[in-house]
């Protein structure tokens, strides 16, 4: 496995890769979710590229950029064990955002809802770094996790709208034994918060059961999630949502596909989770 | 020469081109300025692609989208005579902006000045369509005219910021014998307006003379342009500018490189022109 710490190094190493190239972009501090995406890439692509970059453009000034967990040495060992061929891990933010940087990719509409309503510039930062990475890595396939459902929908929209010749492949959410969706931010949780955190998954399970019993009323399903959350004193919900999968607008009644999602704070740690209805339907 | 009217057709034909590929994006109604860019591309690239698309996203509702001159048959004959290999001339705007389209490329800062101050969403539309075209055409070199100087600076910024692997090549402004910069919009001018229009070029010439005589005061040079314009009753200036080439901020004194530019209305037709100081220096 080769590791490039500058874009110039990366460009030289990229020319040596046989195609098709699969790409797994990450912010590091890897967990089984990331590794399952590497494996998915490995199984369908001749070469696998991963990137490790905590992208400042997707954090608000009030957010956890400086405290975001980092462990490059461990990350590289994990990626090497998965058979990744080339890693882009820039030594400096200037590689991506040099002096005078001033170009932004904005997906409108769907980025105003859900996570975007709570994190206003977040998806602008995500879309911009992914557009840059697509141009730098030139992958045939890019692998993202369904755990960040709205991110996947935004990237899908951007790929389509800006005519990127990249196939988006989504990997399923990987969960701890108690149902908590894996996330680098789980690391922040105190033991008490960690014990409370599976409440997100329980909300989704509750909705899936109600749906299987025929409930289609959006507000009834949202109310069911709120009820589950109220039983957990450490959980402070940002939102619970039952939204149309294409527009992310809240649904009165579920007719087609729906994204059921929620964001919950435990102390200063913010966790998200989601599921798609009908169960098993693809996100994009 | 092959002509694609859909993106699917284009993608199939693009695979047959040998590289390096040169790309000349146009809004059609071609003049010698466009053709000189085709020739520049022809001389340095194995294959040449041109596009003809009047991009609605770069016109404000009040602007001349519907009246913008079009003559596809003539354009194709001209491009064929220049040895262009492949033309993308979409039959419908939906090829580029289908239902649900919602992604925009924004170059901040420099797009707020000069043309951007008078045409607020213009450069967003330009950057977006050029990003799309780069992904569709995948050229090694892209050819733009220096006549649209701010556009060239914006595209240069976008290529660099979004890591497009495209070399920007600028062709010189091509002028009529009386000095008027060639533009498809010259077609709108009445005979009286056409006779008055070389006043833009005379402004630039006046500045070049003063500069050669040692004048470096930005306001003195702007005042000289205003004076030349006042002598032409049909000319209604939007702006005259002597700006820093990197930031496009108006200069008090010229120390390094400067962009001298102006926009002038004749009736409902708006013309622009520019020159770089010191004479002969590159725009980007």
B4 Cβ contact partners less than 8 Å away, ≥ 6 residues apart: B10, B13, B86, B87, B88, B89
Measuring CA to CA, how many Å separate A132 from each of A96, B160, B163?
8, 10, 6
Tokens of B222: 């702007």
State the smallest CA–CA distance between residue B194 and chain A in angstroms: 38
Listed by number, the residues of chain B in 71-90 with a beta carbon closer than 8 Å to a beta carbon of chain A are none
Q: For B102, which of A7, A132, A157 is closest by C-beta distance?
A: A157
The tokens for B214 are 């040692």
Task: Tell me the C-alpha to C-alpha distance, in Å, between residue B81 and each of A149, B32, B39.
Answer: 51, 13, 10
Scanning every residue of chain B, which has its alpha carbon at the shortest distance from the alpha carbon of A7? B163
Minimal CA separation from A164 to chain B, in Å: 6
Establish whether A34 is a catalytic residue.
yes
The reply to whether residue B108 touches residue A131, judged by beta carbons under 8 angstroms, is no
* Nearest by CB: B106 against A104, A132, A158: A104
Contact B102 A127 (CB under 8 A): no
Q: How far is CA B37 from the centre of its chain?
A: 12
Look at B103 and A161 and tell me if their CB atoms are within 8 Å: yes
A 45-64 residues inside an 8 A Cβ radius of B: none
B88, B26 Cβ separation under 8 angstroms: no
Q: Which residues of B touch A165 (CB under 8 A)?
A: 135, 138
Indicate the residue of B102, B157, B246 with minimum beta-carbon distance to A103: B157
Residue whose token pair is 């009445």: B190
A104 at the B interface (CB within 8 A)? yes
Extract the tokens encoding B266. Answer: 């004749």
CATH class, range B184-277: alpha beta
Contact between B106 and A101 using a beta-carbon 8 Å cutoff: no
Chain B positions in Cβ-Cβ contact with residue A110 (cut-off 8 Å): 102
What confidence tier does A262 reach under pLDDT thresholds 50, 70, 90?
Answer: very high
Q: What backbone phi and psi angles, to 5 degrees, belong to B187?
A: -60, -30
| Nearest chain B residue (CA) to A164 | B135
Residue A17, C-beta contacts closer than 8 angstroms, at least 6 positions apart: A46, A47, A49, A85, A86
Token couple for B110: 């420099």
Q: Which residues of B184-194 are buried (b: 16+ CB within 10 A; e: fewer)?
A: bbbebbeeebb
Measured CA distances, A234 to A191, A194, A229, A230, B202 (Å) = 12, 10, 9, 9, 73
A248 — pLDDT class (breaks 50, 70, 90): very high
Query: What's the Cα-to-Cα distance from A19 to each of A42, B21, B138, B146, rounded to whole Å?
Result: 12, 21, 17, 38
| Buried b or exposed e, range A115-146, using 16+ CB within 10 angstroms | bbeebebbbbbbbbbbbbbbbbbbbbbbbbbb
Q: How far is residue B48 from each of residues A75, A162, B84, B183, measured CA to CA in Å?
A: 44, 22, 5, 22
- Could you count the other beta carbons within 10 Å of the beta carbon of residue A270? 19
Q: What is the pLDDT of residue A216?
A: 98
A163, B246: Cβ pair inside 8 Å? Answer: no
* CATH value of B2-171 in 1.25.60.10, 3.40.50.170, 3.40.50.620, 1.10.3720.10: 3.40.50.620
Are B163 and A132 inside 8 Å of each other by CB? yes
* Cis-peptide, bond into residue A278, ω within 30° of zero: yes
Q: Do A110 and B102 touch (CB under 8 A)?
A: yes
Residue B43's pLDDT is: 98
Query: Taking the CB of residue B96, how many other CB atoms lie within 10 A of it?
Result: 22
Which of residues 243 through 262 in chain A touch B, CB cutoff 8 A?
Answer: 246
Size of interface A-B (CB pairs under 8 A): 73
B158 touching chain A per CB within 8 A = yes
Q: What are phi and psi of B206, to 5 degrees?
A: -60, -45
Residue with tokens 């170059």: B107
* A99 part of contact set with chain B, CB < 8 Å: no
Closest in A136, A158, A165 to B163, CB measured: A136
pLDDT at B275: 98
pLDDT of the residue at B258 = 98
State the pLDDT at residue B271: 98
User: CA A97, A98, A99, A101: dihedral to nearest 10 degrees?
Assistant: -50
Q: pLDDT means per 10 residues in chain B (284 residues)?
A: 98 97 98 98 98 97 93 98 98 96 97 96 98 98 98 98 98 98 96 98 98 98 98 98 96 97 97 97 93
> What residues of A are in contact with residue B136 (Cβ under 8 Å)?
163
Per CB-CB distance under 8 Å, the chain B contacts of A156 are: none
Considering only CB atoms, B107 lies closest to which of A103, A136, A162, namely A103
**By the CB < 8 Å criterion, does B169 face chain A?**
no
Probe site for chain B from A161, A164, A284 (most B CB atoms < 10 A): A161
By Cβ distance, the residue of A102, A158, A163 closest to B107 is: A102
The structure tokens listed for A6 are: 């500058």
Q: Nearest C-alpha of chain A: how many angstroms from B174? A: 30
Is A100 touching B (CB cutoff 8 A)? Answer: yes
Contact call for B135 and A107, based on CB within 8 A? no
Q: Which of A3, A49, A59 is nearest to A26 (CA)?
A: A49
Q: How many C-beta atoms surround the C-beta of residue B233 within 10 A?
A: 9
Give the Cα separation of B269 and B263 in Å (integer).
Answer: 10
Chain B residues within an 8 Å CB radius of A112: none
Q: Is the dihedral of CA A212, A217, A220, A222 positive or negative?
A: positive
Q: DSSP for chain B?
A: -EEESSHHHHHHHHTTPPSSEEEEEE-SS--HHHHHHHHHHHHH-SEEEEEE---GGGS-TTSSTTTS---HHHHHHHHHHTT--EEE--SSGGGTS-TT--EEEEE-GGGGSTHHHHSTTHHHHHHHHHHHHHHHH--SEEEEETTSHHHHHHHHHHHHHTT---EEEEEPPPB-TTSPBP-GGGGG--HHHHHHTTHHHHHHHHHHHHHHTT--BHHHHHHHHHHHHHT-TT-EEEEEEEEETTT-PBPSB--S-EEEEEEEEETTEEEEEEEEESTT----
Q: What pLDDT is attached to residue A90?
A: 97
- Work out the number of other CB atoms within 10 angstroms of the CB of residue B102: 16
Residues B113 and B107 sit within 8 Å (Cβ to Cβ): no
What pLDDT is stored for residue B239 in this prediction? 98
Active-site hit among A34, A122, A156, A160: A34
Phi, psi (5° rounding) for residue A29? 50, 60
pLDDT tens for each residue of A88-117 = 999 999 999 999 999 999 999 999 999 999
Q: For helices A122-137 and A7-14, what crossing angle results, to 10°?
A: 50
The pLDDT value recorded for residue A243 is 98
Residue A195 to residue A269: CA distance in whole angstroms: 14
Q: In the prediction, which pLDDT does A214 show?
A: 98
Distance CA A248, CA A6 (A): 37
**Domain residue ranges of chain A, discontinuous segments joined by +:** 2-171, 184-277
């Amino acid at each position: 496995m080769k590791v490039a710490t500058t874009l110039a190094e990366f460009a030289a190493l990229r020319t040596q890769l046989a195609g098709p190239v699969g790409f797994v972009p990450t912010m590091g501090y890897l967990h089984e979710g990331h590794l399952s995406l590497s494996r998915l890439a490995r199984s369908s692509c001749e070469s696998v590229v991963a990137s490790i970059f905590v992208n400042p453009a997707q954090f608000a000034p009030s957010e956890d950029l400086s405290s975001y967990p980092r462990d490059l040495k461990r990350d590289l060992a994990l990626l090497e064990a998965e058979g990744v061929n080339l890693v882009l891990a820039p030594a400096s933010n200037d590689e991506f955002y040099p002096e005078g940087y001033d170009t932004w990719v904005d997906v409108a509409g769907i980025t105003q809802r859900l996570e975007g309503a709570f994190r206003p510039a977040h998806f602008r930062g995500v879309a911009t770094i992914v557009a840059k990475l697509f141009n730098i890595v030139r992958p045939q396939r890019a692998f993202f996790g369904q755990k960040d459902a709205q991110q996947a929908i935004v990237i899908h929209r951007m790929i389509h709208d800006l005519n990127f010749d990249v196939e988006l492949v989504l990997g399923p959410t990987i969960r701890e034994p108690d149902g908590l969706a894996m996330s680098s931010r789980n690391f922040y949780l105190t033991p008490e918060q960690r014990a409370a955190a599976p409440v997100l998954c329980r909300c989704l399970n509750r909705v899936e059961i109600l749906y299987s019993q025929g409930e289609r009323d959006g507000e009834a399903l949202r109310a069911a999630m709120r009820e589950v959350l109220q039983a957990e004193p450490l959980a402070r919900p940002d939102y619970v949502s039952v939204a149309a999968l294409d527009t992310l607008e809240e649904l009165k009644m579920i007719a087609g596909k729906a994204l059921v999602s929620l964001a919950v704070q435990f102390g200063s740690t913010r966790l998200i989770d989601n599921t798609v209805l009908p169960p098993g339907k693809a996100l994009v």
